[in-house]
């Protein structure tokens, strides 16, 4: 079963279509990167998935059921919002106890261990935490919930390099140990390449590219050669993006032949940048 699935999902925000006709499937047990330019619709998609926003059109299913505000369904989902909202007047210890009291199956010991590992004083009030510390507390709460689906909006943005490594390790461990599904949005493509096995690229509210990272890499090549050779390549593949001079051109191409003996297999960063650079690419 897919952990998250959308069918012709659209969401309008005032005059803007923040999501438009999105069809996508996030498989269970995978770590999926949600990427796209600023304003592409990533946060909107995550908010619709947890029922904070309703679809304008279409459907979104979480573990096969329409997403909504029913307690039993929400118990299977943990969400860390971009602003990492916490109750400012609560101490960290109080927040963990509150989470423990309100979430059946909450792993209080594991959450406390994460706070200790992050060297955060549990007596400190949330309002007095640094941005990165807020993130670490929010992630400890989300992971403690032991939810089947973790939706994380820019979870690594404010973390120092060591904390980023620790959080990425904790997410991968959650996937390995409990079979959890993780969807995380981020602008750090290099980091995502090391953490994620699936990718969804949103572009002005539409799904531009989606699938397994290795399969997407198999379908693309970076080729270099004289400009006129690009015409020959068009017979075999779609040119996603091309740059350079008449004498020397570099192109990202998409092919239907996974074994195309041509050029280099690109990294996920090159693929995403190629599509973002050329909005009219196929
Ligand atoms: N509260 C709101 N009211 C009206 N429009 C909004 C609101 N929040 C977002 N939008 C619009 O919806 C679109 C998608 O925004 P969204 O926040 O989902 O993008 P994003 O991909 O998460 O961007 P970022 O990478 O900057 O966080 C944008 O055009 C944005 O201006």
DSSP 25-91: EEETT-EEEEE-STTSSHHHHHHHHTTSS--SEEEEEETTEE--S-HHHHTTEEEE-TT----TTSB
Q: How many CB atoms are closer than 10 A to CB 136? A: 25
Residues 135 and 253 in one domain: no
Residues 99 and 136 in one domain: yes
Residues 178 and 233 in one domain: no
Which letter does DSSP use for residue 127 in this model? G
Measuring from atom 29 of ligand 1, which residue has the nearest CA?
39
- Alpha-carbon torsion, ordered 173, 73, 158, 182, to 10 deg: 40
Domain count, the chain: 2
Computed on alpha carbons and rounded to an integer, the radius of gyration of the chain in Å comes to: 21
pLDDT in tens, the chain (282 residues): 899 999 999 999 999 999 999 999 999 999 999 999 999 999 999 999 999 999 999 999 999 988 766 766 788 999 999 999 899 999 999 999 999 999 999 999 999 999 999 999 999 999 999 999 999 999 999 999 999 999 999 999 888 999 898 888 888 888 888 889 999 999 999 888 888 999 999 999 999 999 999 999 999 999 988 877 766 777 778 889 988 887 888 999 998 777 777 889 999 999 999 999 988 887
Quote the domain boundaries for residue 263: 219-277
Contact 123, 96 (CB under 8 A): no
Which letter does DSSP use for residue 90 in this model? S
Q: How far is CA 66 from each of CA 21, 148, 175, rounded to the nearest angstrom?
A: 17, 16, 23
Any ligand 1 atom below 6 A from CB of 262: no
Inside any domain, residue 282:
no
Nearest to 48 by CA among 79, 86, 26, 87: 79
Identify which of 9, 11, 12, 13 to mutate to test ligand 1's pocket (most ligand atoms within 8 A of the CB).
Answer: 13
Inside any domain, residue 26:
yes
Count Cβ atoms within 10 A of the Cβ of residue 14 and give its class: 0-12 exposed, 13-18 middle, 19 or more buried. Answer: exposed
Residues 147 and 45 in one domain: yes
- pLDDT value, residue 21: 97
Which letter does DSSP use for residue 149 in this model? E
Residue 5 CA to chain centroid, in angstroms?
14
Q: Does the model's ipTM exceed the 0.85 cut?
A: yes
Any ligand 1 atom below 6 A from CB of 206: no
Which residues have CB under 8 Å from 73's CB, separation 6+? 62, 63, 65, 67
Ligand 1 midpoint to CA 82 (Å): 12
Identify which of 40, 47, 48, 205 to mutate to test ligand 1's pocket (most ligand atoms within 8 A of the CB).
Answer: 40
Instruction: Give pLDDT tens digits for 95-139.
Output: 999 999 999 999 999 999 999 999 999 999 999 999 999 999 999
Residues 124 and 164 in one domain: yes
Residues 181 and 269 in one domain: no
Residues 228 and 253 in one domain: yes
CATH of the domain at 193: 3.40.50.300
* Distance spanning both ends of the chain, measured CA to CA: 29
């Amino acid at each position: 079963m897919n952990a998250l699935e959308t069918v012709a999902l659209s969401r309008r925000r005032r005059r803007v279509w923040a999501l438009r006709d999105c069809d996508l499937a996030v498989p269970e047990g995978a770590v999926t990167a949600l990427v796209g330019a600023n304003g592409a619709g990533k946060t909107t998609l995550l908010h619709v998935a947890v029922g904070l926003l309703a679809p304008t059109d279409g459907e979104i299913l979480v573990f096969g059921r329409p997403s909504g505000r029913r307690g039993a369904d929400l118990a299977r989902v943990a969400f860390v919002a971009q602003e990492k909202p916490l109750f400012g007047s609560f101490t960290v210890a109080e927040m963990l106890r509150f989470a423990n009291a309100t979430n059946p199956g909450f792993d209080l010991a594991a959450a406390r261990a994460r706070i200790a590992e992050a060297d955060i004083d549990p007596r400190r009030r949330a309002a007095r935490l640094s941005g990165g510390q807020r993130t670490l507390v929010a992630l400890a709460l989300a992971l403690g919930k032991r939810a089947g689906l973790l939706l994380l909006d820019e979870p690594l943005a404010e973390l120092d390099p060591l904390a980023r490594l620790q959080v990425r390790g904790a997410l991968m461990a959650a996937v390995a140990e409990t079979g959890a599904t993780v969807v995380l949005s981020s602008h750090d493509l290099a980091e995502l390449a090391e953490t994620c096995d699936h990718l969804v690229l949103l572009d002005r509210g539409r799904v531009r590219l989606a699938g397994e990272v290795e399969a997407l890499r198999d379908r693309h090549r970076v080729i270099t050669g004289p400009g006129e050779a690009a015409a020959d390549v068009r017979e075999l593949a779609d040119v996603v993006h091309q740059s350079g001079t008449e004498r020397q051109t570099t192109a990202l191409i998409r092919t239907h032949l996974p074994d195309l003996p041509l050029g280099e297999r690109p990294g996920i960063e090159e693929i995403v940048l190629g599509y973002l650079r050329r909005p009219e690419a196929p």
